[in-house]
Structure formats: structure tokens, C-alpha cells
Amino acid sequence: MSQKGVTIWFTGLSGSGKSTIAHVLENRFHEAGLRFEILDGDVVRTNLSKGLGFSKEDRDTNIRRIGFVAHLLTRNGVIVITAAISPYRAIRDENRELIGDFVEVYVKCPLEVCEERDVKGLYRKARAGEIKEFTGVSDPYEEPLHPEVVCETDKESAQQSAQRILNRLVELGYIDASFAAEI
């Protein structure tokens, strides 16, 4: 089966479920033999954006780097899954323009639920003033205005969210309907 490249751009607060859903998609794409890559925010920060802090300028640089790599992969027929907070709408829109085949997935989850899920204690540290410029606490998160998919992870499982994304990819012509039915 031929494959069309597309970037599935997850955005949402820390702890909203972006990486969890991305890994469900990863398993499904792997089982189907599709070419894909995951660009996880934490992994990219360690390997591609080492040395960057969390100022607005550094965050923008990090998200632009993720977008550039996603662009290269997408234009070569790879399905790219990005899982990064990407808090600023303008940079997400800039990446949408660069990549073209771009499906924005808003992983929507109330801040209180994200804080309850926080195994790293980041929200606690941010509220105590130990982490400056923390998205959702001391730095803004700009919700997408027109995402292709909204996953409400406080109301649905990661598997349900993944299926919602797959269904939308079928509607948009990025994957074959028989593939979505198979998985």
C-alpha cells in the first residue's frame, strides 16, 4: 500500500496524555507496517535542542526545530507524530504552513487533572516557584482555534483518542479506510 506523509501534531498541557496517545498510534502503525517517526518533546530537547531553556524564545526555537524535522520526514512519505506541549499558537501555525500535510491534535485536559497525573512533580515545583515559566501555571498555553482533532483525555481512553485520530486521518485521505478498520 502506498503511503502519504503527514505530520500529526499533538499539543496540550504537560500530563494531558500526548505521549500516551502517540504510543498507541505508534503500536498501530508498527503493526500495519507503516513508515513513521515519533518526535517526542522530551527526547528532542535532549538530543536536538540540548542547551535550550524554557524562555519563550527557546521554546519557539525548539518547536521550530521539531517542525523542520517533521517537514523533512513528511515530504518523504513518512507519518510523523509530534508530542510536544508547543504552547504558542503562532509557532504551531508557522509549522502548519511549513509542513503542509499537518493534522493538529489538541489533547484537551483540565489543568487539575494534568496536575493529578504529574508523576515528575513538575506542577508542584512550578507552584512552589522552583520552576519558572511553566506552561499552564506561570506561562500561557494558547489553545488551538481550529484543530483537526480534539481528544478529551479526562473523558476518553488513549485507545479511544487514537481511534478518533485514525478516523480523521481516513476522512482527510492520509490513510486508507481499510487500514483504519483493520486496527
Which active-site residues does the annotation give? Answer: 86
Q: How far apart are CA 171 and CA 173, in angstroms?
A: 6
**Helices (H), ranges, 33-118:** 41-47, 56-75, 89-99, 111-117
81: β partners: 8, 38
State the DSSP code for 86: -
Nearest CA among 12, 22, 19, 39 for reference residue 152: 12
CA end-to-end span of the chain: 15
136: β partners: none
Nearest CA among 147, 152, 151, 159 for reference residue 103: 147
Radius of gyration of the chain (CA): 16
Q: How far apart are CA 95 and CA 42, in angstroms?
A: 19
